[in-house]
Amino acid sequence: MHKMSRRTFLKLCTSALVALGLGRYIPAAAASRTIQFPRQIITADSSTSRTVMWQADGGQQDASFVLTAPNGNPEPYAPEANTLLQDATTTTFYTVRLTDLTPGTHYEGTIRMADETVTLPIVTAADEDAAFEALLIDDSQCGETYEPFAQLLEKALARNPRASFLADIGDLTDNGQSSWHWDSFLAVLTGSRAKDMPFVPVMGNHECYGLDWQFALPRRYLASFSVPDNGSRNFPGYYYSFDYGPAHFIVLNTQITELDDLKPGLLQEELLWLKHDAASTKKPWNIVLMHKDVIAYDEYQPGTGHACGR
């Protein structure tokens, strides 16, 4: 009997969902709102800055953001807007970059679009030497429903109520060009307490798959998360670093196999950046976040001329 691969199985499932009219399903919490999936993204220094993002269907609309400090003084911000057409869907992503914040302070952010208002608590990190807890998960991708991810995240957040931020170490979604997968993932993420803390995305190989399950540029991932600037002209958003408390986090991109033919030069550029970034930090802890293992068992290792066995 012919053994069906996991990728082939998932492709058939996706085709079946589309044929049944379910492939375009958008979670009810998002479908009923103009302001979709409000989220906070990690910045280079979470004690003095924060990035807030959300999205809406269609082209650019009027949107505003107001940050209110504990003393009650509101400060307006003009959101940046970036429209992406993918998977026959037009989505506009809104970004607000908050700077010059006070460490260890509880702010309130208010998003306004059309007749809707969404409020987010924005809590900056405390002293740079203060200890902290972080929640790390990986492979939140799901096939036909993201309910398993929702259950996992709910339990993880309940067991770690003091977590300062949440990191997802790659393969956030099952297909990087599927609007259904991205909406389903973000509905879970922003429908939980995770929306009240910074999110740390790490690109995985599934973010680099197209609807035909061939390698594709991670356009939706890059549009969804405005991460700290890495200084790159060719690969902005592909890798980055940030500080939190006494730790320096280095977020690497391991999708060389998927991306090299589509956008060559990632590995060489990233290695040079890594050496400079690691040498520049003065933090006592250096922590690397990346999707693929350093040793990829049973996978071909680029540049070595051989495959690694178990």
Q: Concatenated DSSP letters for 42-97?
A: --SBTTT-EEEEEEEESS---EEEEEE-TT--EEEE--EEEEEEETTEEEEEEEEE
Find the mean pLDDT for residues 282-304: 77
User: Considering the domain boundaries, does residue 310 fall inside one?
Assistant: no
d(Cα 92, Cα 58) in Å, to the nearest integer? Answer: 6
Q: Give the phi and the psi of residue 162 in degrees, each rounded to 5.
A: -100, 10
- Please give the sequence-ordered ranges of beta strands (E in DSSP) within 125-259, or none if there are none: 133-137, 163-169, 198-202, 240-244, 247-251
pLDDT value at 86 more than 80: yes
User: Considering the domain boundaries, does residue 228 fall inside one?
Assistant: yes
pLDDT value at 301 more than 60: no
How distant, in Å, are the alpha carbons of 40, 66, 98, 191, 254 from that of 203? 17, 30, 24, 21, 8
Which domain CATH number covers 204? 2.60.40.10
User: Considering the domain boundaries, does residue 301 fall inside one?
Assistant: no
Find the mean pLDDT for residues 95-109: 96
User: Considering the domain boundaries, does residue 276 fall inside one?
Assistant: yes
d(Cα 9, Cα 167) in Å, to the nearest integer? Answer: 28
Q: Which pLDDT score is estimated for 33?
A: 82
Q: Which residue range forms the structural domain that includes residue 33?
A: 6-289
Q: Which of 182, 179, 68 is nearest to 120 (CA)?
A: 68
Per-residue pLDDT tens over the stretch 44-78: 999 999 999 999 999 999 999 999 999 888 999 99
pLDDT value at 297 more than 80: no
Beta carbons within 10 angstroms of residue 131's beta carbon: 10
259 CB-contact burial (10 Å; exposed 0-12 / middle 13-18 / buried 19+): buried
pLDDT value at 16 more than 50: no
User: Considering the domain boundaries, does residue 139 fall inside one?
Assistant: yes
Q: Which of 217, 224, 254 is nearest to 239 (CA)?
A: 254
User: Considering the domain boundaries, does residue 64 fall inside one?
Assistant: yes
End-to-end CA distance of the chain: 26
d(Cα 300, Cα 308) in Å, to the nearest integer? Answer: 7
Per-residue pLDDT tens over the stretch 151-203: 999 999 999 999 999 999 999 999 999 999 999 999 999 999 999 999 999 99
Where is average pLDDT lowest: 31-35, 61-65, 123-127, 157-161? 31-35
With pLDDT > 90 as the criterion, what percentage of the chain qualifies?
A: 79
Q: Which pLDDT score is estimated for 203?
A: 98
User: Considering the domain boundaries, does residue 174 fall inside one?
Assistant: yes
Find the mean pLDDT for residues 112-140: 92
Q: Please tell me the total count of domains within the chain.
A: 1
Residues 243, 249 contacting (CB under 8 angstroms): yes
User: Considering the domain boundaries, does residue 294 fall inside one?
Assistant: no
